[in-house]
Amino acid sequence: MESITSRLINWASILDDKTREQALTTSRLPFIYPHLALMPDAHLGKGATVGSVIPTLGAIIPAAVGVDIGCGMIAVRTQYTLKDLPRDRKPLRENIERAVPLSAGHNNRKVTATAEPRVAELHRRAEKAGFNPAQYVAKWDLQLGSLGSGNHFIEVCTDETDAVWLFLHSGSRGIGNKIAQHHIRVAQGVARDKRISLEDPDLAYLEEGTPEFSRYIKELRWAQHFALLNREEMMDRVIRQFGDWVGGTVKETERINCHHNFTQQETHYGKSVWVSRKGAIRAEAGDPGLIPGSMGTASYVVVGLGNTASLNSSPHGAGREYSRNAARKTFSLAQLKEAMHGIEFRATEAFIDEIPAAYKPIDQVMHDAADLVKVRHRLRQLVNVKGD
240 backbone dihedrals φ, ψ, rounded to 5°: -65, -45
d(CA 273, CA 281): 16
Q: How far is CA 251 from the centre of its chain?
A: 26
91: part of which helix (H) or strand (E)?
Answer: helix 90-99
Beta strands in the chain (DSSP E): 2-5, 8-10, 36-43, 50-56, 59-60, 72-81, 153-158, 163-170, 206-207, 254-259, 261-268, 271-278, 280-282, 288-291, 299-304, 313-315, 373-385
Q: How far apart are CA 314 and CA 224, in angstroms?
A: 19
Count how many Cα atoms sit within 13 Å of the Cα of residue 160 in the half-sphere of its side chain.
7
- The sign of the CA dihedral 353, 357, 363, 364 is negative
- Nearest in space to 157 (alpha carbons), one of 227, 214, 73: 73
Instruction: Give me the catalytic one of 43, 259, 260, 316.
Output: 316
- Determine whether 106 is an active site residue: no
Residues comprising the chain, all counted: 388
Q: In what order do the strands lie in the sheet with 8-10?
A: 2-5, 8-10, 36-43, 50-56, 271-278, 261-268
Which residue numbers are catalytic? 316
